Structure 1
Amino acid sequence: MTPTSPSGLPAAHPHEKDVERRFLAHWPRLEARLAEVYGGDPRWAGFIGALKDRVWAAAIARPAALRDLDSRREGSRDWLSAAGQTAYTFYVDRFAGDLPGVRKRLDYLDDLGVRWLHPLPLLRPRDGDSDGGFAVADYRQVDPRLGDMDDLEALACDLRARNMGLIVDVVCNHTAREHAWAKAARAGDQAFQDYYITLSAEEAAERERHLIDVFPDTAPGSFTFDPDMGGHVWTTFYPFQWDLNYANPQVFSEMLEVLVFLASKGVQGFRLDSAPYLWKAAGTTSRNRPQAYAIVEAWREALAIVAPSVVLVAEAIESLDDVVPFFGRDGRGCDLAYNNAVMTALWGALADADAGVFNRCLAASAGKPRRAAWLNYVRCHDDVIWNALAAYAPPEDLARWSAFYGEGGGFSHGRAFQTAPGGVPSTNGMAAALAGLQPGQGPGSPGAHRLALLYGIVHALDGWPLIYMGDEIGLPNDEDYEADPLRAGDGRWLHRPAMDWTAAERRTQDGTLEAELFGCLRRLGVQARMLAAHGVAGPALPVALESPAILAFERTEGAQSLLCLANLAEAPLATRLPLAYSATTRDLLTGRDRQGGSIDLGPHELVWLVTT
């Protein structure tokens, strides 16, 4: 039987059978998810019919060079959960100037063991302050300061040749006020006015009572009056970032077309920025609504038809109960999500030399669907949000950690950041600074040991380890950001420094901090990729030991079990081991065999023990 498109037209492309197979497998669930959101909308019939044709046409038009990758990943059921898929995240201009500059630095990233590149927002932003590129004026153009779409496609091609992938930020919750859709809306086009949410002063005030300010100091409130729109436009973040109206099904279609367009350029993954905010509902915080989860699942199913090798990453810095649903009700939503609770808990555990909060968060994070994977990280471009641990630690703990890292209460060189009323201040700072590593200190310093310890922990967890630019050489805070008028108002630029390539060259010089840290992260990536060969599998689950200062977790679902032990304390500690590890074990990080029912750990020492 000759395959036909959803509209009944004859199929005319050689890969039409694959498209038909994927369509039959994924379209019913895609339509069902959208029916939950838009089924009662009078536009439903026209919308779903047009979308069906669009998805089919996009799948047929998938570039031939990308179809092989689609087929390989479809044929490898467990590729997503393969160990050691190290990701590296950075701002293009801070790392290498522009996209051609990034291409010239691929040997450096290859040497580090990177498998996925995640440049932070690089699509064309508004002029002036753009919230670090998160106010997008055009989804189909690259920021001209960084290059153009041909440069992006060339980078994606280079990465595929190295068996590496490119993840790009798609800011799906809002556009810049200068986006073409917003310009048309401000010019009076009613169709585009329905792409945004405009309320009267009274309506906005009522909604505001239930919302939580994201930037209470620098951008208080969630609405901005615009005379051209005749009311108060919903602006969750900054006044120049206009929230999209996903109650309009056309907005869903527009954003799907953006994803498909970028996927056709070789992009292999999308970080869905601000995904929790996609759906607004009166009388609620308008975060993590069921419709937001359904929209993300629908995008996942559409891409499974058009570009099945592409992954979706949920940027949801929320409680675990709110993050896990982004993986999808049956594991078909986002492929990855930031393991924010575990990351934040790591810093709390390090401050107290007590693994309790980490254990609670790790146990909760194990509840994700098996198909999906965590993105495990030590730091990123945003602040450390202590309030995200409210379900796992009492307020006094949150306040103590906030002061410890942001107000000079401990070894940290971080700074306090803003918070919503009733919360504790978040913290800004590079991982090296938060770990207490000062510029000029060597590899034997406590700060260097703490930094290596944290990265050793996240590499042993199930999921993908993420390295933030510069952590591999101990890059310090950018203390001069306040001299730049476009950055001075946002304290997060403290931990968005320019790459120090002079320091990076020292990674080849024995005895330097850069050589020690770079070599450490490179070895961790190698060993993480070897875990499957050692038979290690399954989620990481906490193990309670005699001393709360020894953080411990194991993975036990493979032929061999892994026990990760990390001494959070400044002093040496000894502990008895679980029975399964009291016979002969091997420390994968040193390659040495060991025996006995107890172990001695030096200050901030890390071991990965596997049963033999």
Structure 2
Amino acid sequence: MPSSPLSVLPATAATPGTSGDPTWWRQAAVYQIYPRSFYDANADGLGDIRGITAKVPYLKELGVDAVWLSPFYPSELADGGYDVADYRNVDPRLGTLEDFDEMTASLHGAGMKLIVDIVPNHSSDQHAWFQEALAAEPGSPARARYIFRDGQGTNGELPPSDWTSIFGGPAWTQVPDGQWYLHLFASEQPDFNWDNREIRDDFLRTLRFWSDRGVDGFRIDVAHALIKDLSEPLPSQAELERLEKLHNGTNPLWDRDDVHGIYAEWRTLFNEYNPPRTAVAEAWVDPSRRARYASPTGLGQAFNFDLLMADFDAASFEGIVTKNLAEAQATGASSTWVFSNHDVVRHATRYGLPRLVAGTGGGADAGSDPVDGISQDGKAWLLAGGPEAELDRELGLRRARAATLFMLGLPGSAYLYQGEELGLHEVADIPAAERQDPTFFRNAGVEVGRDGCRVPLPWTPAGPAFGFGDVPAHLPQPEWFAGAAASAQDTDPASTLNLYRKALGLRRSLQSGETLEWVPNANPAVLHFVRPNGWTVVTNFGDADAALPEGTVVLSSVPLEDRTLPAAATAWLVKP
């Protein structure tokens, strides 16, 4: 595998800028950056590493504790950077390792941690190891790093099984000599063979490489897919779908118990550093099995997507929070909360769509992450270009602001996605010729794909790319971005940007303990909880006004009058 020079810092040293509370991640507010769409510093239409460095003051003022970078590695962008060609380098279109070091130092100097994406299930088909495998013979050590099989049929002309990839189409691709390789995602993303010790050792080198450069933690992509049972005979696609519902660790492809042996090795490495490096698993598994990934002897934390998959509904939110806090307390893990990311329709849009049934694009039973997280009605709305009659933009944003204040009041880590602090909606009207997500093309338009949440951010109301850069952005930006631009919201005290700034600042001072107490309410549409220090959060999920409890209001998602909490609103109160 190609690699860059290793840092000379010893693993046991406290890397500059990373000292402090070793449990910082348990209550952190983490801001996800999709690098190619954040800020373009060199006028090529792509966001880059120097662009992130330039916006560190913005991130500091926003008030987040850490930044999580989606992949920035060399990539042919067959899947938005999740097809990695070199795990220990920076894509030259995004910068250099020196640029990365400068960004890391700038974030640390501003008091923020850095988390980076690791993509261990598959590489790019342009990775040196896969290119070596293609040139090698069947049965060679080069092919043993990936999953190659002979085909079925008289001359091996049929794939080893009828499996379907997550992005649509077959999960096997044939190479010129007749063998087939497995790719659970795009054909440009061949799966590694994690039974091969060489793969395990090389990823340990990768984790150490970035840890030595000052990275504080890692987000593990598709963490539940690394270990596979490919013993013959391979099950059919129908049998796989049946096994996916068992949630007992025996599925041939997903969430196998043996995967945790890998993460135990990783935890040993993480604990060599001072403070220990953190990790969070992206594992779309049944909630009953999520704690295995969040184990203190494993990755330590796992994404909880339950709120992301839920409608804007009081009973749903209460049940999800209660269950997950109890699970965290029982296992010693930290809860995680998220509404939007690079894989799903932005929650300001989800909450404004009719007949919302969040999460039908995937989830625990799907074996992987959903490509959008909206109902078939929502998909039809997006594919049709999003007529305004179908999306209530004002209601969607109002609910999103209320839900975010509710979430930021919870104990645990809050994961935010770039642009949600601007109240951005999904960009629906992207011409097919300008779309980039493989899900759109491989499913013949049935899946609208994820480009709509990856459109570059608007920083100013004018310019060729609304301040994103000096040339048009790599994905088209809509005209309505002008009103959502960061500079347009900066001086407006009622803007969503300033709501996030106030909330994150207050959260840092109010956060106390890792528990809450629900306060009974006669109105089933209202949720009311209190943190150990008396910090009170009240959310009205209903359509009618509700009374506020006693206390001094320190923040609300909408302006308040008297002691009334309007519909689709949240208020924070403290003891007088």
Task: Please give the range of the TM-score, normalised by the shorter of the 2 chains.
Answer: 0.7 to 0.9
Q: Which piece of structure 1 moves more, 110-119 or 360-369?
A: 360-369
TM alignment of 1:136-175, pairs within 5 A: 136-175=84-123
Match of 2:36 in 1: 93
Closer, same or farther: CA 224–252 of 1 in aligned 2, 3 Å: same
Structure 1 residues 39-65: Cα deviation after superposition (integer angstroms, max 9, x where no partner): xxxxxxxxxxxxxxxxxx99973496x
Does 2:281 match 1:314?
Answer: yes
Secondary structure, in 3 states, of the residue corresponding to 1:275? coil
Q: Which piece of structure 1 moves more, 167-176 or 486-495?
A: 486-495
Closer, same or farther: CA 309–410 of 1 in aligned 2, 3 Å: same
The question of whether the paired residues in 1 share the 8 Å contact of 2:35 and 2:70 is answered with: yes
Match of 1:267 in 2: 215
> What displacement does 1:574 show?
4.3
> What displacement does 1:538 show?
2.1
Match of 2:507 in 1: 528
Match of 2:453 in 1: 495
Match of 1:117 in 2: 67
Closer, same or farther: CA 207–501 of 1 in aligned 2, 3 Å: same
Match of 1:474 in 2: 423
Specify the code of the residue in structure 1 equivalent to 2:504: G
Closer, same or farther: CA 200–99 of 1 in aligned 2, 3 Å: same
Match of 1:214 in 2: 166
The question of whether the paired residues in 1 share the 8 Å contact of 2:9 and 2:15 is answered with: no
> What displacement does 1:307 show?
5.8
Closer, same or farther: CA 469–485 of 1 in aligned 2, 3 Å: closer
> What displacement does 1:316 show?
1.4
CA distance in 1: counterparts of 2:221 and 2:32, whole angstroms: 14
Specify the code of the residue in structure 2 equivalent to 1:606: T
Match of 2:546 in 1: 573
Does 2:333 match 1:333?
Answer: no
Closer, same or farther: CA 320–170 of 1 in aligned 2, 3 Å: same
Specify the code of the residue in structure 2 equivalent to 1:146: L
Match of 2:25 in 1: 80
CA distance in 2: counterparts of 1:610 and 1:491, whole angstroms: 42
The question of whether the paired residues in 2 share the 8 Å contact of 1:334 and 1:372 is answered with: no
> What displacement does 1:474 show?
1.9
CA distance in 2: counterparts of 1:141 and 1:235, whole angstroms: 23
- 1:461 pairs with 405, 410, 418, which one? 410
CA distance in 2: counterparts of 1:438 and 1:516, whole angstroms: 25
Closer, same or farther: CA 142–261 of 1 in aligned 2, 3 Å: same
Match of 1:34 in 2: none
CA distance in 1: counterparts of 2:352 and 2:58, whole angstroms: 35
Structure 1 residues 261-286: Cα deviation after superposition (integer angstroms, max 9, x where no partner): 11122222111111110110256242
CA distance in 2: counterparts of 1:538 and 1:292, whole angstroms: 29
Structure 1 residues 344-372: Cα deviation after superposition (integer angstroms, max 9, x where no partner): 22xx1x1xxx3222222222212025653
Closer, same or farther: CA 486–493 of 1 in aligned 2, 3 Å: closer
Specify the code of the residue in structure 2 equivalent to 1:492: R
CA distance in 1: counterparts of 2:371 and 2:352, whole angstroms: 10
> What displacement does 1:334 show?
1.7
Match of 1:377 in 2: 338
Match of 1:20 in 2: none
The question of whether the paired residues in 2 share the 8 Å contact of 1:438 and 1:476 is answered with: no
Closer, same or farther: CA 564–245 of 1 in aligned 2, 3 Å: same
Specify the code of the residue in structure 2 equivalent to 1:290: D
- 1:365 pairs with 317, 324, 328, which one? 324
Secondary structure, in 3 states, of the residue corresponding to 1:565? strand
Match of 1:185 in 2: 133
TM alignment of 1:158-557, pairs within 5 A: 158-188=106-136, 190-202=140-152, 213-215=165-167, 219-228=168-177, 230-282=178-230, 284-306=251-273, 308-328=275-295, 331-345=296-310, 348=311, 350=312, 354-366=313-325, 367-368=327-328, 371-383=332-344, 405=350, 409-410=354-355, 426-427=372-373, 445-478=394-427, 479-480=429-430, 482-484=432-434, 486-487=436-437, 489=441, 491-502=449-460, 503-510=485-492, 516-532=495-511, 536-540=512-516, 545-555=521-531
CA distance in 1: counterparts of 2:175 and 2:435, whole angstroms: 25
> What displacement does 1:332 show?
2.6
Secondary structure, in 3 states, of the residue corresponding to 1:446? helix
Closer, same or farther: CA 416–316 of 1 in aligned 2, 3 Å: closer
The question of whether the paired residues in 2 share the 8 Å contact of 1:99 and 1:147 is answered with: yes
Secondary structure, in 3 states, of the residue corresponding to 2:308? helix
Secondary structure, in 3 states, of the residue corresponding to 1:236? coil
Identity %: 26
The question of whether the paired residues in 2 share the 8 Å contact of 1:417 and 1:491 is answered with: no
Specify the code of the residue in structure 1 equivalent to 2:524: P
Closer, same or farther: CA 156–87 of 1 in aligned 2, 3 Å: same
Gaps of 5+ in 2: 1-5, 41-47, 236-250, 442-447, 461-484, 557-562
CA distance in 1: counterparts of 2:454 and 2:517, whole angstroms: 33
Specify the code of the residue in structure 1 equivalent to 2:298: G
Closer, same or farther: CA 410–302 of 1 in aligned 2, 3 Å: same
CA distance in 1: counterparts of 2:303 and 2:223, whole angstroms: 12
The question of whether the paired residues in 1 share the 8 Å contact of 2:304 and 2:335 is answered with: yes
Secondary structure, in 3 states, of the residue corresponding to 2:253? coil
Match of 1:52 in 2: none
TM-score of the superposed pair, with normalisation by structure 1:
0.71
Match of 1:608 in 2: 572
The question of whether the paired residues in 2 share the 8 Å contact of 1:377 and 1:465 is answered with: yes
- 1:589 pairs with 528, 538, 555, which one? 555
Closer, same or farther: CA 562–360 of 1 in aligned 2, 3 Å: same
Gaps of 5+ in 1: 1-56, 386-400, 578-583, 591-598
Match of 1:38 in 2: none
Closer, same or farther: CA 87–495 of 1 in aligned 2, 3 Å: same
> What displacement does 1:408 show?
5.4
Structure 1 residues 121-164: Cα deviation after superposition (integer angstroms, max 9, x where no partner): 111113xx420100001112211111011111110011111111
Specify the code of the residue in structure 2 equivalent to 1:294: G
The question of whether the paired residues in 1 share the 8 Å contact of 2:535 and 2:575 is answered with: yes
Structure 1 residues 471-512: Cα deviation after superposition (integer angstroms, max 9, x where no partner): 11122333225341534636210111111111111123337x
The question of whether the paired residues in 1 share the 8 Å contact of 2:280 and 2:294 is answered with: no
Specify the code of the residue in structure 2 equivalent to 1:123: Y
Secondary structure, in 3 states, of the residue corresponding to 1:530? helix
Match of 1:26 in 2: none
Structure 1 residues 49-101: Cα deviation after superposition (integer angstroms, max 9, x where no partner): xxxxxxxx99973496x44556x44xx454333x4x32211222211121112
Larger proportion of strand: 1
The question of whether the paired residues in 2 share the 8 Å contact of 1:481 and 1:494 is answered with: no
- How big is the alpha-carbon RMSD for the aligned residues of Structure 1 and Structure 2? 3.8
Closer, same or farther: CA 107–122 of 1 in aligned 2, 3 Å: same
CA distance in 1: counterparts of 2:406 and 2:387, whole angstroms: 22
Closer, same or farther: CA 438–301 of 1 in aligned 2, 3 Å: farther
Closer, same or farther: CA 422–470 of 1 in aligned 2, 3 Å: closer
Secondary structure, in 3 states, of the residue corresponding to 2:92? coil
The question of whether the paired residues in 2 share the 8 Å contact of 1:344 and 1:384 is answered with: no
